[in-house]
Amino acid sequence: MANHGSADTDRTGESAQRWRDARLSPAERADALIALMTLAEKAAQLVGVWVGADASGQGVAPHQDEMRNGTPWPELIRYGLGQLTRPFGSAPVDPVLGARSLAASQAQIAAASRFGIPAQVHEECLTGFATWGATAFPTPLSWGASFDAELIELMSGRIGRSMRAAGVHQGLAPVLDVTRDYRWGRTEETIGEDPYLVGVIGAAYVRGLEQAGIVATLKHFAGYSASRGGRNLAPVPMGRRELADVVLPPFEMALRLGGARSVMHSYAEIDGVPVAADEGLLTGVLREDWGFTGTVVADYFAVRFLQTLHGVAAAAADAAGLALKAGIDVELPTVDAYGAPLLEAVRAGTVDEALVDRALRRVLIQKAQLGLLDEPATDAAAHPAPAQSLVFDDEENQQIALRLAREAVILLRNRGGVLPLPTGRRIALIGPVADEPLAMLGCYSFPVHVSAHTGHGLGLEIASLRESLSELIPGLAYSPGCTVDGDDTSGIAAAAAVAADCDVCVLAVGDRSGLFGRGTSGEGCDAADLRLPGVQPELVRAVLATGTPVVLVLLAGRPYALGEEVEDAAGIVCAFFPGQRGGQALAEVLTGVVNPSGRLPVSVPRDAGGLPATYLSPPLGRRSQVSSIDPTPAFPFGFGLGYTAFEWSDAGVAGHRENAIQPTEWPVDGEVTVQITVRNAGARPGTEVVQLYLHDPVAQTTRPVVRLVGFARVSLEPGQQARVSFTVPADLASFTGVRGRRIVEPGDVELRFGRSSAHTEAAVPLRLVGLEREVGHQRRLVSVIEVEAGAPLTHTAPEAGG
């Protein structure tokens, strides 16, 4: 391949050397390089190209032209290349050969252009490095169910190190969309319905990834999960107050507490304005208000969608101009509007080249930080990794996956001590997900996303619930009863007969994850209501009618209605796609090997309709006398049981005697420390999740009845107790007032210690005192938790930069 000349010989002078000088700041190097570049070279850095790694290890996979709009590979990289899209995540490829293929592609990219700059490589990593043979961790709803930020950071660190070893620079995770409508297919990718929980867990994921050297990408900024009717890409009927108080805080937290270096915008339109064209959001809020200096990358094909789906651009060039002006720096997954249409628009004067330079500067600064502007490039992507270093599913990864799955299993009901399952009794296992390994995985795991459609097998050992439970309870009687989403009821009678002949029945129902209609959960797999898919409700009714005690196991990507239809179930256990070791974790919880400690990151509805509704509702969003619909959930946010009992006592303000007459004063610019004692009063070790909620009864705008402002996992031996303290900054009481500014308002409030959002153990009355105070992006974002008497500290989220 011909080289188009050296950047240092084409132009002489000090500036031609400066961009290679690693002693200069990334910004200085970027500025020096921009001065040397032609328009075509600039635009080439603002696009990705979607290619697959060749299984032979020789470079770009053959027959990939359809992913590049038919443009030959040499032509695409003639002027350089900004990003390579998912070289590992497009087809099953041996990791070692994939890394060699990527290195060969990088060498071709460097040799083809004047400046010899490798591409930045991105991959999906929501439930693990999305490549053949990499550990499939639990989905984000399981992260939320664990309430364990430290474990999530540990997991993402392992994911990040695997990606760096393969030559990847950027991971398209975490998803920080706050759940707003459970019918949305991508609910499984969300962490939960509370912005504080999403922010703390999401920031932990970012820290692990960034500390491993991977650029974390926050998505989808913003509003994506609030689409009308829970339909993917549907318009978002959201006011700016809901946006500011519910949707945006997790992104703030992940930027400040996690240090994320990239953001992916949302496909959504909010109040008629597509986010991809929303300068007020992508530049005004993100950069001017929050001070973000990293890159904004387009969600796949979203720049062109401004023309083809949203109808706010007449042609690709117009779409490119709108996106650049709004603040999108890189078009993904492959070159389109930022290619020839953008070049023509700049040359015609309809798009200002200064917008190209602005985006380019951000891209080059990030490449300098990654070592991609050095000579030779210091990045590992330019060099094949040794075979022995590319094991992506080792024992440590699997143990983390197992630990997280165990912590994420939620026990919702246990009548008559039906759990743990009795020994020496006849146990039936019924249901369409009972013997399906893929029932453990979400849609962005590689086996579901790619492997299941290729005929190459899954690439991992994934035990089903039946396989795992059979190891602990030999002689299980089994019948599937029906499929997840079919209409064939012919197997239901036989399944009910199996259940009737046993002492206890475990009934496993739920979802099949997939993409765009190939599943019942996942991207593009939205639900019309929250009834179990297919004929599973008929199976549930038939099995419950046998009179055999039933333990209902929900293996799903969203909460389904668990109201009157399952009132006769003796036990209910829930797991949200718990990963490749999820079968073992579920079996251990069902048999008592593991004491469950998961808590609901989303409420479980009582009825299949009456949506959307989450726990973050003001009084009139709850049950009232003015509506015949009761939205009270079957199981509230934060709820979960275990096999031991915890007593809570002695709640109050640190350093203050309880005063029944006057609330304790809490300065609007200060903090307060509240405490409670938790004791394990049961006979076995266990973990309690102590939750702290803010109740603001009178405010200038309507407020949620309660909202989460702190949580702690507290593990205790039988008889052991711990004093749990939450130091809460008044900033956490802030909200968007009537004038559209975030304020801390004086007045009476309560901090409530709860076992869930609906179960208050103790309320501490407080009075915010002082003048109304406006706060901004530099406000304090988290409570600080201390656990005394030997119980472990589970999460303290330090604020970056003090």
pLDDT per position as a tens digit, 436-459 = 999 999 999 999 988 666 777 888
Helix (H, G, I), strand (E, B) or coil at 741: coil
Identify the residue with better confidence: 223 or 458.
223
Residue 794 has a pLDDT of 41
Residue 88 makes CB contacts below 8 A (sequence gap 6+) with 53, 95, 98, 102, 123, 129, 130, 131, 132, 166, 168
Residue 790 has a pLDDT of 58
Mean pLDDT of 173-193: 97
**Closest to 513 (Cα-Cα) out of 457, 459, 444:** 444
Instruction: Work out the average pLDDT over 248-277.
Output: 97
pLDDT digits (tens, 9 = 90+) for 130-158: 999 999 999 999 999 999 999 999 999 99
- Specify the DSSP element, H or E, that contains 326: helix 316-326
Question: Distance between CA 789 and CA 680 in Å, rounded?
Answer: 13
pLDDT of the residue at 386: 46
CB contact at 8 A, 320 and 341: yes
| Pairing, β 477-479 against β 550-556 | unpaired
Structure tokens at 361: 């500067």
* Identity of the amino acid at 581: R
Environment class of 585 (CB within 10 Å of its CB; exposed 0-12, middle 13-18, buried 19+): buried
Residue-averaged pLDDT of the chain: 92
**Per-residue confidence at 658, pLDDT binned at 50, 70, 90?**
low
Element (H, E) at 16: helix 15-18
- Distance between CA atoms of residues 762 and 726, nearest Å: 14
* Radius of gyration of the chain from its Cα atoms, rounded to whole angstroms: 27
Confidence of residue 358 (pLDDT cuts 50, 70, 90): very high
Q: Is the pLDDT of residue 660 over 80?
A: no
Q: Which residue has the higher pLDDT, 788 or 627?
A: 788
Closest among 684, 635, 704 to 246, alpha carbons compared: 704
- The string of DSSP letters for 600-645 reads -SS-B-SSS-S----S---GGGSS-TT-S-----SB-TT--B-SS-
pLDDT by residue (tens digit) across 696-732?
A: 999 999 999 999 999 999 999 999 999 999 999 999 9
The residue-averaged pLDDT of 463-482 equals 97
Contacts 24+ apart (CB under 8 A), 366-370: 366/26, 366/120, 366/215, 366/261, 366/262, 366/294, 366/295, 367/117, 367/120, 368/26, 368/29, 368/30, 369/26, 369/261, 370/120, 370/169, 370/215
Residue 800: pLDDT over 70? no
Whether the pLDDT of residue 667 is over 90: the answer is: yes
Q: Is it the case that residue 10 has pLDDT exceeding 90?
A: no
- Sign of the dihedral defined by the CA atoms of residues 393, 398, 400, 405, in that order: positive
- CA 627 to chain CA centroid, Å, is 34
Instruction: Report residue 89's pLDDT band, with 50, 70 and 90 as the boundaries.
Output: confident
Q: Residue 4, class by beta-carbon neighbours within 10 Å (0-12 exposed, 13-18 middle, 19+ buried)?
A: middle
- pLDDT value at position 611? 74
**Residue 643 and residue 686 in contact, taking contact as beta carbons nearer than 8 Å:** yes
Distance, in Å, from the CA atom of 195 to the CA atom of 245, rounded to the nearest integer, reads 8
Q: Is 8's pLDDT higher than 70?
A: no
With a cut of 60, say whether residue 788 has pLDDT above it: yes
Expressed in percent and rounded to 5, the helix, strand and coil fractions of the chain are 30, 20, 50
Identity at 751, one-letter amino acid code: L
Model confidence band, residue 379 (pLDDT cutoffs 50, 70, 90) = low
DSSP collapsed to 3 states, 182-207: CCCHHHHHCCCCCHHHHHHHHHHHHH
DSSP track, 391-442 = -SS-HHHHHHHHHHHHHH-EEEEEGGG--SPPTTS-EEEESTTTT-GGGG--
Angle between helix 316-326 and helix 353-369 axes, rounded to 10 deg: 60
Q: Please state, in angstroms and rounded to a whole number, the distance separating the CA atoms of residues 608 and 634.
A: 11
- Which tokens is 91 given? 């087809």
The reported pLDDT for the residue numbered 620 is 87
Q: Output the six-digit token pair for 182.
A: 């459970």
Alpha helices in 491-630 (DSSP H): 492-500, 536-544, 582-591
Please determine, for residue 335, whether its predicted confidence score (pLDDT) is greater than 60.
Answer: yes
Determine the longest span between alpha carbons in the chain, in angstroms: 87
CA dihedral angle for residue 438, residue 443, residue 445, residue 447, rounded to 10 degrees: 50
Interval 745-785: pLDDT, tens: 999 999 999 999 999 999 999 999 999 999 999 999 999 99
- Residue 801 reports pLDDT greater than 60: no
Q: Taking residues 536-540, report their average pLDDT.
A: 98
Distance CA 410, CA 640 (A): 6
Rounded average pLDDT over 787-800:
53
Name the pTM for this structure.
0.95
Pairwise CA distance, residues 320 & 784, whole Å: 44
Q: 799: which DSSP letter?
A: P
Question: What's the whole-number mean pLDDT along residues 157-178?
Answer: 97
